[in-house]
Chain A
Amino acid sequence: MKLFKLALILIATMSPLFSEAQNCAEQVDLHKKFIKPFQLNDMSKSAVCVSGSTYEFKIPLTKGREYRMQFYAAAVFNNKINFTIIDESTHETVLNLPGETYERKVGSCVLASWYDEDTEKEYTPYFDFYPPTSTTLKVIMEIPEAPQEKTSDGGVAPKKIDKGCVTIILYDKPAEGSW
C-alpha cells in the first residue's frame, strides 16, 4: 500500500512539470474561434514568456484587409500584463491597456473576460484594426516581476520566475469596399 501511495505521489508531483512544459504552439488551436466573416490568420502566434520581461511582436497589416486581435495569457501571470500597440508607420500608440481592470467595460482591458448581462454571453476582449494603407504594428507586452516570496524563517527566497504561454490570435477579412 505504501508503494501504491508513493506511486500516486510521484505522478501528482509530475503533473506541474507537464503543465509547465506545455507547448505554446497548441495554444492557437485552443483559442481560435470561428467568427464569420473573419478567418484565422496564420500569423497568430503563441510564445513562452517569463515574468520580468518585455516582449515585442511585429505584425505587418496589409491594405485591403481588416484585422481582429485577441490575446490570451497563462493563468500563472494573473492577467498582470500591460499591452501597448504602436503603429510603426505613424509612430502613434494606438492601444495601451492592462490585462485586467476592476471595470467591466468594453475597451478597458485586454485579457480578462466577463459575463455580459445585456447579451447574456461571456465577453472576451477583442480589438479591430483597419489599415487604409499597409503598416506594421508593434505589440509590446510587459510582464512584471513575479511577487517575491519569503522563506519559512522570514528570509528572502531565490528570485521567482513565472513562465507561461502568451497568445495572439489574429483574424482577418476583406475590408469593406475593397478589391
Chain B
Amino acid sequence: MKSLHKPFMWIAAFGMMLGFASCKSDPDPKKNDTGKITEITNDNLTFYLIPSPKDMFSFTSSNEIPFSTEVLNPAENADKYLDVQSQELGFGMYSADLAYTAAFFQTKEAKKYLKVVRGLSAQIGISSVFDEALVTRFDEMPDNKDSLIQVTNDTYFDIVKFLEENERKSSLALISTGGWLESLYIVVSLVKEYKENSDVIQLIADQKNIFENLLLYLEQHKSDPNINSVITELAPIKAIYDQLEVVKVERPKTPENSGKIIVGGTTKIVITAEQFKNLKETITKVRNKLSANNV
C-alpha cells in the first residue's frame, strides 16, 4: 500500500517544483517575497516595437535596389565575436543578411548565412530555436521565393519569442540593433545616387521613427554596460536623424467608407542630398566598426 502512494507523492512534489519554477520566471513587475507586485516601473509600462529586418527588404526587393554580396557582413567575421555584445549584435546583423538574401531569393547565400546564424545561436544560448523541424525546412530549401522568405521570417519570429520567453531583454535589444543597423547599411550602400522623390530615399528618411523607437528601447536597458556602449556608438547616427526636417504635406485623398483608419499623411520626413551623404557615411562607419568588433 505504501508503494502505491509513492507515485502520487512524486507527482505532487513535481507539480510543486514546476509551479515554483514557473512563478520564478514571471516577467518584470517588481515583487516582494509573497509574489505580490510592489512596484511598476516605466520600463514595463512602455513597449517600443522594432520591425524585423525583413520589413526593410519587403519594400526594396522590387527593383529599386539590386542584390550584391559585397554589402553582406563577411561570414568570417563571426569568428571575431568572442564577447556577448559582439555575438548578439553580430547575430542581428547576420539575421538581416539572411533576410536580404531570402528577399532576393539567393538560395546559396541564404544557406551560407543560415549556417553562420546557427553557429552564433549556439554561442549566445539560443540554439534550441533551430530545432530539427526548422533545420529540415532549410535543408529542403524551398524552391520558391515566398517559401524561402517564410522560413527566414519564422526563424526570426521564433528567436524573438524564445528571448521574450526567457526574459533576455538585453539580448533582444542588441539583436534588434544589429538587425536594424545591418538592414539600413545594406539599403544605403546600394543607393548609388540621391533622388529627391525616390521611394527608397523616403524609406531611409522614415527610419528616423524606427530609430527613435530603437533608442528609447535601448535606453530602458542602459543599466546593462553592453547596451550603454552601443547607445554611445549610435550617437553619430542620432545626430544626423535629429537634423532631418519634418514638413507639412497635404493628406492624399482616400476612398470614403474603406473601413481603414487613415494615419499620418499630414507630415513627411525630408532628407537632403547632403544629409543622405552624411548618413550613408556614418551608417557605414558605425556598422563596419561594430561588425568588425572594434568597439
Contact = CB atoms under 8 A, between A and B. Distances in A.
Most buried by B among A29, A63, A172: A63
B287 interface: no
Counting chain A CB atoms within 10 Å of each CB, the highest count among B11, B19, B203 belongs to B19
Given A7-B9, A48-B28, A60-B210, A43 B51 contact: yes
B266 A89 contact: yes
B194 interface: no
Interface string A7-18: 110110010011
Nearest to B56: A62
B22 to A, nearest CB: 4
Contacts of A144: none
Interface in B224-262: 246, 249, 251-252, 254, 258-262
B82 interface: no
Interface string B249-286: 10110100011111111111100000000000000000
A109 to B, nearest CB: 15
B261 A95 contact: yes
A53 B263 contact: no
B46 A56 contact: yes
Q: Which of B15, B62, B64 has the most CB of A within 10 A?
A: B15
A56 B263 contact: no
B37 interface: yes
Interface in B36-65: 36-37, 40, 44-52, 54-55, 58-59, 62, 64
B113 interface: no
A89 B46 CA distance: 18
Given A3-B9, A11-B11, A58-B213, A63 B23 contact: no
Interface in B1-48: 5, 8-9, 11-12, 15-16, 18-19, 22-23, 25-29, 36-37, 40, 44-48
B23 A21 contact: yes
B180 to A, nearest CB: 11
Interface residues of A, number: 62
B55 A62 contact: yes
Interface string A114-136: 00000000000001111111111
Contacts of B62: 179
Contacts of A39: 153
B151 interface: no
Contacts of A60: 49-51, 209-210, 213
Interface in A43-66: 43, 45, 47-48, 50, 53-66
Nearest to A40: B157
B165 interface: yes
Given A42-B153, A43-B50, A55-B46, A130 B262 contact: yes
Given A3-B8, A163-B29, 7 more contacts: A17-B22, A47-B27, A54-B45, A60-B51, A129-B260, A133-B249, A134-B264
13 contacts: A6-B8, A26-B165, A28-B161, A29-B161, A42-B52, A42-B54, A60-B210, A65-B58, A65-B59, A132-B264, A133-B265, A135-B209, A179-B64
Interface of A: 3-4, 6-8, 10-11, 14, 17-18, 20-21, 23-26, 28-29, 39-43, 45, 47-48, 50, 53-66, 87, 89-90, 94-95, 127-137, 161, 163, 172, 174, 179
